[in-house]
Amino acid sequence: MTKFVIKAENLKKYYFEKRSDVITKALDGISFEVYKGEFLGIMGPSGSGKSTLLHILGLLDTPTEGNIWLLGKEVSSLSDQEKAYIRLKKLGYVFQQYRLIPELNALENTALPCMMYKGNKKECKKKATYILERVGLKHRLFHYPFELSGGEQQRVAIARALMNNPVIIFADEPTANLDTRSGEEIINLFLDLNRQGQTIVMVSHEPEHKKYFDRILFIKDGKLEKIINQR
Partner 1 sequence: MYELRKELKVAFFLALKNISFRKKTLAMVAIIIGLGFLSATFSSSVITGLRVMIEDKAINSLTGNIVLEPETGKDYIYDVKSIEKKIRSLPGVEAISPRLALNAALYDPVTGEKAPLTLYIVDAEKEAMTTWIDDYIAAGRFISKGTKNGIVIGGVLTKKYSIAKSLPSLDVDAGDKVQLILPGILSKEIKIEGIYLFKFVATETFGFINKEQAMNFLNLTYEDLDRASVILVKTTTKGNEKKIVEMMRQLSIPAKIYPWQEKLGTIAQFSDSLQIISRITMVIGMIISFGTIYIMIYINILQKRSQIGILKAIGINEKTILYSYIIQSMFYGIIGIIAGYFLTYLLIQYFTTHPISMPLGDVIPVWESSLYNKISVMLFIVSVMAGYLASRNIVKEPILDMIFKG
Angle, CA 57 vertex, CA 1 and CA 87 arms, to 5°: 100
Q: Which position among 14, 35, 69, 85 is part of the footprint of partner 1 (CB under 8 A)? A: 85
Q: Which position among 3, 73, 121, 195 is part of the footprint of partner 1 (CB under 8 A)? A: 121
Q: Which position among 33, 61, 184, 214 is part of the footprint of partner 1 (CB under 8 A)? A: 61
Contact flag: residue 84 with partner 1 (CB under 8 A):
yes
Q: Which position among 44, 49, 63, 113 is part of the footprint of partner 1 (CB under 8 A)? A: 113
- 3-class secondary-structure state, position 33: strand
Contact flag: residue 93 with partner 1 (CB under 8 A):
yes
DSSP assignment string, 36-55: TT-EEEEE-STTSSHHHHHH
Contact flag: residue 134 with partner 1 (CB under 8 A):
no
Contact flag: residue 89 with partner 1 (CB under 8 A):
yes
- Quote the CA–CA distance of 70 and 80 in Å, as a whole number: 16
Site for partner 1 in 170-229 (CB under 8 A): none
Cβ proximity to partner 1, 87 vs 209, nearer residue: 87
Instruction: Please choose, out of 65-73, 102-110, 131-139, 194-202, the segment that lies near partner 1 by the rule CB under 8 A.
Output: 102-110
189-196 long-range contacts, CB within 8 A, separation 24+: 189/135, 189/136, 189/155, 189/158, 190/39, 190/158, 191/39, 193/158, 193/162, 193/169, 194/37, 194/38, 194/39
Contact flag: residue 95 with partner 1 (CB under 8 A):
yes
Contact flag: residue 71 with partner 1 (CB under 8 A):
no
Going by C-alpha positions, the residue among 27, 1, 9 that lies closest to residue 74 is 9
- Quote the CA–CA distance of 44 and 58 in Å, as a whole number: 19
8 A C-beta contact, residue 71 and residue 60: no
Contact flag: residue 78 with partner 1 (CB under 8 A):
no
Contact flag: residue 102 with partner 1 (CB under 8 A):
yes
Contact flag: residue 116 with partner 1 (CB under 8 A):
yes
Please state the closest distance from residue 181 (CB atom) to partner 1, in A: 26
The binding site for partner 1 (CB under 8 A) comprises: 55, 58, 60-61, 80-81, 84-89, 91, 93, 95, 99-104, 108, 112-113, 115-117, 119, 121, 160-161, 164
